[in-house]
Amino acid sequence: MTDLADFTARLTALTDGRASAPRLKEGVMTIALDVGGLDPDRREGLAAAIREGALTVPGVTDVRIAMTAERKPEEAVAAPTLPPKAPLRILAVASGKGGVGKSTLSANLAVALHRLGLKVGLVDADIYGPSQARLMGSEDQKPQARDKKLIPVTGTLGIPMLSMAHLVEPGKALAWRGPMVGNALTQLIDAEWGDTELLVVDMPPGTGDIQLTMVQKHKPVGAVIVSTPQDLALIDATRAVSLFHQAGVPMVGLVENMAGYACPHCGELSDPFGHGGAESKAGDLSMPFLGRIPLAIDIRRRSDAGDPPAAGEGVHADAFHAIARKVADWLKASA
């Protein structure tokens, strides 16, 4: 994770001492930058690199750079370049049918992977029913664009993210047809992700053309399939798995969501949708079983409030973290 101290140290190196110490107040980071002697391209390049880095510091939602011109041209040094970036890898989170908790898992997986130290970004590819802005508490943010590329907004824990919910009014995308949707997805994925190494992509539910184009064009390194324990959901999950197989995308594993319910009053455990179905389905499909997330009112409440359970502590956070560790191990092994 880039904390403020790390960023301040990097800033000094990046700007050869041209930047003041950053000040952070109410999510806004302010930095004075001495651009004396730099040509306009270098000035802009340096400011963009600072902005990109600053937005990775937890809690920073906006960056203001005040440019001054103290240094003389002869003192000017070449604008330093950023260290080479690791290639951006895509992890698809998908389900065969809607409503099984794919978005909830995507958000919490992104948060848990971020807490493990990965440089994670989150894309909500569910164009018709985007929910990540709400889940990650970034509904009121609007992405900017630079050189025709979108600059992600910052969600929970400073995780960069993009969703159609940030770009269109609620319900507007519903009338869109295939090509428009394909273009919109490409804009979200080919955005300015900075030093992000892994994009968690919350896929649209189902197995239609859009999903196929998405996996063929954007080539995820792996896919996590989410299902509830019901037979019908598991049959649909099988379809989702075959979509990824067709496109040559490896399976990371299957997650069972809404597994088992603990009554908040008496604590009695029940299995409204059956028990163990997803684990045995994973076995049938020769794919790893990544774990269970219980059906819990607290998960729904916190998700609705833009406060993903994985950002906190407790049994629900632990359930998401256990899955994230398996995913991180898989990613490491497949790198």
Rule CB under 6 A: which residues touch ligand ATP?
95, 98-104, 126, 129, 131, 205, 257-258, 293, 295-296, 299-300, 303-304
Residue 106 labelled as part of a binding site: no
Residue 280 labelled as part of a binding site: no
Q: Which residue, 22 or 130, has its beta carbon nearer to ligand ATP?
A: 130
- Least CB distance to ligand ATP at residue 319 (A): 9
What string of DSSP letters covers 178-222?
HHHHHHHHHHHHTS--TT--EEEEEPPSS-SHHHHHHHHHH--SE
- Least CB distance to ligand ATP at residue 166 (A): 16
Q: Which residue, 98 or 182, has its beta carbon nearer to ligand ATP?
A: 98
Residue 120 labelled as part of a binding site: no
> Which tokens hold the place of 52?
């990109």
Cα separation, 307 vs 297, in Å, equals 14
Q: Give the count of alpha carbons within 13 A of 160, CB side only.
A: 30
Cα separation, 30 vs 12, in Å, equals 15
- Least CB distance to ligand ATP at residue 293 (A): 5
Q: Which residue, 97 or 218, has its beta carbon nearer to ligand ATP?
A: 97
Residue number of the CB closest to ligand ATP reads 98
Residue 217 labelled as part of a binding site: no
C-alpha to C-alpha distances, 19 to 11, 93, 158, 301, 326, nearest whole angstrom: 7, 40, 22, 42, 40
Cα separation, 188 vs 198, in Å, equals 14
- Least CB distance to ligand ATP at residue 32 (A): 43
Residue 103 labelled as part of a binding site: yes
- Least CB distance to ligand ATP at residue 251 (A): 18
Residue 97 labelled as part of a binding site: yes
Strand partners, 257: 293
Cα separation, 63 vs 48, in Å, equals 10
Binding-site annotation, residues: 96-103
Binding-site annotation, residues for ATP: 96-103
